[in-house]
A and B are shown apart, each in its own frame.
Chain A
């Protein structure tokens, strides 16, 4: 018990020392933080949510300042396929390949971003799914782009105004960003923007890392790095488990 108390006391002392300097420093119009900077994918990983929170100098809400939060995950190429009917059966037919597709994308505002910023500004900053530069090679139909957006959205990997940023006491804001269990490891960027009079007047760049840890990381690392060793391990483990199981559950 004692160490925890002294730790708390230490924190309080540090805070007391810091507070005057904070008050004296040039007031920042926007301060934002993340609840965590590291999301661990363990064997028990079921997804996680990250809290983006902060405060503004001027009051938030209708008539005052507004906040937009934009989060992006690592990008990669994706293929969208359309099924076609051949002899009564459905096969994958034409496909379109999209380069640089963000594996995770979320945007939210105190109000929808389309109401807060003019289109060219949203375009320049990549705010909103409509602004994603999804260029495809292969089949050229607008349906593929639309399908990509709707599939990613239904997987929870792309979110646009899924929920508004909550405001508390007109200066504190927070947003819960849900990450589904299918999120890809990598570094994620979170941009918090303060909007005043249809312009972005301040931004804060934050980031977090999604990484595999523990057994899941170990298995994935061996499977990718030493596939021959992994393949042999799979054979041996399955054979051993099958043999062991039949000994344990023998019924005669």
Chain B
């Protein structure tokens, strides 16, 4: 069934979009991540303009994360105080990110820039994930205990604040910086950034794992809402019809994925997720690398 997307100004198969939403939702439920990092590249692959793919990807991640946040909040798994600091950094980051995005679009470099961001960020995160989980699998077999959290440079900075829920007494500078960087990436890549935020919260901030997911969802919901707002008014790329079709498949898929994810072991899941992330990065790198079929492209002038 073909449907006309009013903002993308093109006609696409509605079932394809619902199907993409379902598969991405299923994977994100399985691995407990937002799935934006899969969705936006797939949308660009099927020919959705990158401005619309990024903006609508952020919008869909917002919808996909809301129910998770509600569930985590009910179980008291959100550190609102830490979340507030992260969101403060994230909102500033999203403003900066959308400005960079608008500049890139004017320069006609959005496609390549978004792809490079994906290759670099996903390549790094995927490699870390695979290495870390492989190490964890070996450690498990040697029956060693991991430390609760590491005291790193992040613990020696000024402006310290007590975060009761996370049982931390640290400077607010690291969470502000983490939030800021994720905010920028969220705006340019159209993702929630959970796959980067969760490791950053564990390894940089040293937060206990119990509150990491809930708190990261709080940041994701707030920052994707901000990105949606700014992209819609500045770039005009949010296509609500596209978003809702993706969500229709996405929320259904996420429930099935989550049910299956419960049966997988943590380290194996993370290794698989790392490989998936590396796969997406690799395919985008290949697209940048190979000689384009058509050297020329045409678009409306801004």
* Alpha-carbon distance between A238 and B229 when the two chains are bound, in angstroms: 12
A121 contacts the other chain (CB 8 A): no
A-contact 0/1 string along B227-242, CB 8 Å cutoff? 0111011001010110
Contact B297 A241 (CB under 8 A): no
**Chain A hits for B295, CB < 8 A:** 82-83, 147
Residues of A within 8 A of B291 (CB): 90
Q: Are A181 and B11 in contact (CB under 8 A)?
A: yes
A95 within 8 A of B: yes
By a CB distance below 8 angstroms, the chain B residues around A237 are 240, 243-244
A90 contact from B4, B112, B244, Cβ within 8 A:
B112
Please tell me if B38 contacts chain A, counting CB pairs below 8 Å. no
Which of B3, B4, B233, B299: most chain A CB closer than 10 A? B4
**In the assembled complex, which residues on chain B have CB atoms less than 8 Å from the CB atom of A148?**
296, 298
**Interchain CA distance A28-B267 in the complex, whole Å:** 83
Residue B259 is within 8 A (CB to CB) of chain A in the complex: yes
Taking each of A143, A217, A245, A250, which has the highest tally of chain B beta carbons within 10 Å of its own beta carbon? A245
The answer to whether A241 touches B252 (Cβ under 8 A) is: no
Query: Which single residue of chain A is at the shortest CB-CB distance from B61?
Result: A238
Distance between Cα atoms of A247 and B251 in the complex (Å)? 9
Which among B62-70, B182-190, B196-204 touches the partner chain? B62-70
- Determine which of A79, A220, A233 lies in contact with B298 in the assembled complex, contact meaning CB atoms within 8 Å: A79
Q: B236, A91: Cβ atoms under 8 Å?
A: no
B145 CB to nearest chain A CB (Å): 33
Contact indicator B296/A81 (Cβ below 8 Å)? yes
Q: Pick the contact of A238: B9, B60, B254 (CB < 8 A).
A: B60
Q: Report if A114 contacts B (CB, 8 A).
A: no
Decide yes or no whether A168 CB sits under 8 A from chain B. Answer: no
0 or 1 for each of B249-265: is its CB under 8 Å from A? (1 = yes)? 01110111001000000
User: Which residue of chain B lies nearest to A180 when distances are taken between CB atoms in the complex?
Assistant: B11
Query: Cβ of B247 and Cβ of A242 under 8 Å apart?
Result: yes
The residues of B that contact A232 with a CB separation of less than 8 Å are 229
Report if A72 contacts B (CB, 8 A): no
* A: number of interface residues (CB 8 Å): 61
Known A228-B233, A245-B252, A251-B256; contact A212-B111, beta-carbon cutoff 8 A = no
Bound Cα distance from A220 to B239, whole angstroms: 9
The reply on B10 being an interface residue by CB < 8 A is yes
* Chain A min CB distance to B157 (Å): 34
- The B interface is mostly helix, strand or loop, or mixed, namely helix
CB-CB under 8 A for A76 and B288, given A91-B112, A238-B60, A238-B62: no
Instruction: Return chain B residues, CB-CB under 8 Å to A82.
Output: 295-296
A83, B7: Cβ atoms closer than 8 Å: no
- A220 & B6 in contact (Cβ 8 Å cutoff): yes
B9's closest neighbor in chain A, by CB? A182
A45 lies within 8 A of chain B by Cβ: yes
The answer to the question of B178 belonging to the interface, with a C-beta cut-off of 8 Å to chain A, is no
Complex Cα gap A97–B106 (Å): 13
> Are the CB atoms of A227 and B233 closer together than 8 Å?
yes
Contacts A78-B299, A97-B301: A219 and B240 contacting too (C-beta < 8 A)?
yes
Residue of A42, A216, A242, A248 with most chain B CB atoms under a 10 A cut-off:
A242
> Does any Cβ of B come within 8 Å of A31's Cβ?
no
User: What chain B residues lie within 8 Å of A189 (beta carbons)?
Assistant: none
**Given contact pairs A92-B111, A243-B70, A44 touches B3 in the complex (Cβ within 8 A):** yes
Q: Are A246 and B67 in contact (CB under 8 A)?
A: yes
- Given that A235-B225, A235-B229, A246-B67 are known contacts, is A80 also in contact with B296, CB under 8 Å in the complex? yes
Report how far A77 CA is from B302 CA in the complex, Å: 8
B34-73 Cβ-contact flags toward A at 8 Å (1 or 0)? 0000000000000000000000000110111111101100
Contact of B6 among A47, A181, A212, A227 (CB under 8 A): A212
Complex contact A242–B296 (CB within 8 A)? no
Taking A42-B4, A238-B66 as known contacts, 18 extra A-B pairs with beta carbons closer than 8 A to each other, sorted by chain A number, are A76-B301, A80-B298, A81-B298, A89-B288, A90-B288, A91-B112, A184-B9, A219-B6, A219-B240, A228-B233, A230-B238, A234-B232, A234-B240, A235-B59, A238-B60, A238-B243, A238-B247, A248-B251
Q: List 14 A-B contacts (CB under 8 A).
A: A43-B6, A44-B3, A45-B11, A79-B301, A80-B296, A92-B111, A92-B112, A181-B11, A182-B11, A231-B232, A237-B243, A241-B244, A242-B67, A246-B255
